[in-house]
Amino acid sequence: MSFLKLLVREEEQNSHKPEPLHQSELKKCKFLMNQALDADETGLKDIAIKLYTDAAELGLSAVSIRLLHNFYCIFVLPAIINNNL
């Protein structure tokens, strides 16, 4: 198989991989921040505040999920494995 075909196949496989949850949440957070900035710039202060709040909550949630996942992988899972060996 040619190098070009291998690259195309690899790209197709990568494009079908699901995005990690925290990445998806962070993209939503960025979208909400952009919407909040747009609302703020057009003078829709109440809507902007709600969107800023939603973005902040979503961002903190995504970071918390990632931190919990890392904690589990670094501390909990090895402890479980070591106890069962």
Structure tokens at 60: 């903190």
* pLDDT the model gives residue 50: 94
Cα separation of 50 and 64, whole Å?
21
Q: Please name which of 12, 24, 34, 85 lies closest in space to residue 58, comparing C-alpha atoms.
A: 24
* pLDDT the model gives residue 1: 52
For the stretch 35-83, pLDDT in tens is 999 999 999 999 999 999 999 988 888 778 778 878 888 888 787 787 7
In sequence order, the 6+-apart residues with CB closer than 8 A to the CB of 18 are none
Find the farthest-apart pair of alpha carbons in the chain and give their distance in angstroms, rounded: 62
Residue of 76 and 33 predicted with greater confidence: 33
* pLDDT the model gives residue 66: 77
Q: Model pTM greater than 0.85?
A: no
Cα separation of 11 and 43, whole Å?
43
The region of weakest confidence among 4-13, 30-39, 56-65 is 4-13
